[in-house]
Amino acid sequence: MSESNLVREQHEFWMRRAIQLAYQGQYSTRPNPNVGCVIVKDGQHVGEGFHPKAGQPHAEVFAMRDAGEAARGATAYVTLEPCAHYGRTPPCAKGLVEAGVAQVVVACPDPNPLVAGKGVQILRDAGIEVITGVCEAEAHQLNLGFLKAMATSMPHVRLKVASSLDGRTAMASGESKWITGELARQDVQHWRAISGAVITGIETVLADDCQLNVRQLDGIDDLSKIVQPQRIVLDRQGRLPLTAKMLEQPESVMVMGPFRQELADLGVVQFEIQPLAELLKILVQQHQIYDVMVEAGATLSTAFLQEQLVDEMISYVAPTLLGRSARAMFTADFNRMAEQLRFKLKDVTQLGDDIRLRLIPSQETL
């Protein structure tokens, strides 16, 4: 193996450790990104850290504290470009300079206008060697919403559906508990927990009296440590009952519909009725919500898809048949093959007897 290949493998090894660390904050850092940092000197690990929560020190700070004087002359591996601005914490780029590191390896650039190359420039201006793009694709997965929102002012949208083999999501009466098994339902909790908001329609709330919060997570005993998603109800006719279970925690409920004083008195944030794309922009720009999960009925799910607002579909398929009178997964009415919505398969996972498909909308046409 050539020396350059060996160096690249070493960089990738330590960056993957930093990525593992970053995932430890995946349920608690919002609206901040997930970031991990590892400090290595003479081929030996001397410090590491991750960002645990907004307002607390960033990953680099924890790693430098862990390394102490050993950080001088070392290499720091960071999953996201070190920040260059003063917020609730000082800029990490300047902290790395003061710590005396000799080299910084960065996985992802930060498109946040407050950073966007400024962190790397601070390091280079101080004579520190900077290497970028190591394990960038893997690190990008850590912060799909944050990175998209900083670049486009739109959130990363995941659409979740659960259906039978014949593409049905509920009986004609609306009864839907339960199509999928326990493992699939537990898996949904993870996707909610990494979301800044869960969007649903009023028909789903009226049919299921759903809470759409996170009630159980593998490996997390104390749910108070996670950031619960906002629950957003699209209610154009103002039908959300004040007895709805989700209003037991009204501070995490938002409603798009006609203004209702009784909801305002509870502390519920209300939006005027507007197109879905505009609502998503408001969530990013005014509420720092960068990851959105849609858990809704066929009509709203179809609207998100047809307006090309979905970045990823998470489809749970149960090995059962519900029959033609059961409710369909989507309501789109196509007459020609050219109108179909196609997807690329990202991965397939078996969860008990169910299958989870992760799908990305395809731009390809037949």
Q: Is 92 annotated as a binding residue?
A: yes
Distance of alpha carbon 55 from its chain centroid, rounded? 19
Q: Is 260 annotated as a binding residue?
A: no
Catalytic residue among 48, 60, 81, 312: 60
Q: Is 200 annotated as a binding residue?
A: no
Q: Is 300 annotated as a binding residue?
A: yes
Q: Is 266 annotated as a binding residue?
A: no
Per the CB < 8 A criterion, the answer to whether 332 and 308 are in contact is: no
Q: Is 183 annotated as a binding residue?
A: no
Distance of alpha carbon 206 from its chain centroid, rounded? 27
Q: Is 244 annotated as a binding residue?
A: no
Q: Is 212 annotated as a binding residue?
A: yes
Q: Is 85 annotated as a binding residue?
A: no
Q: Is 173 annotated as a binding residue?
A: no
Q: Is 83 annotated as a binding residue?
A: yes
SS (H, E, C) the chain: CCHHHHHHHHHHHHHHHHHHHHHHHCCCCCCCCCCEEEEEECCEEEEEEECCCCCCCCHHHHHHHHHHHHHCCCEEEEEECCCCCCCCCCCHHHHHHHHCCCEEEEEECCCCCCCCCHHHHHHHHCCCEEEECCCHHHHHHHHHHHHHHHHHCCCEEEEEEEECCCCEEECCCCCCCCCCCHHHHHHHHHHHHCCCEEEEEHHHHHHHCCCCCCCCECCECCHHHCCCCEEEEECCCCCCCCCCHHHHCHHHEEEECCCCHHHHHHCCEEECCCCHHHHHHHHHHHHCCCEEEECCCHHHHHHHHHCCCCCEEEEEECCCCCCCCCEECCCCCCCCHHHCCCEEEEEEEEECCEEEEEEEECCCCC
Among residues 198, 195, 309, 201, the alpha carbon closest in space to that of 256 is found at 201
Q: Is 192 annotated as a binding residue?
A: yes
Q: Is 204 annotated as a binding residue?
A: yes
Q: Is 299 annotated as a binding residue?
A: yes
**Residue 60 bears catalytic tag:** yes
State the first-to-last Cα distance of the chain, in angstroms, to the nearest integer: 45
Q: Is 291 annotated as a binding residue?
A: no
Among residues 88, 79, 18, the alpha carbon closest in space to that of 57 is found at 88
Distance of alpha carbon 180 from its chain centroid, rounded? 23
Q: Is 298 annotated as a binding residue?
A: yes
Residue ranges of the annotated binding site are: 58, 83, 92, 162, 176, 178, 192, 204, 208, 212, 215, 295, 297-303
Question: Active-site positions?
Answer: 60
Residue ranges of the annotated binding site for NADP(+) are: 162, 178, 204, 208, 297-303
Residue ranges of the annotated binding site for substrate are: 176, 192, 212, 215, 295
Residue ranges of the annotated binding site for Zn(2+) are: 58, 83, 92
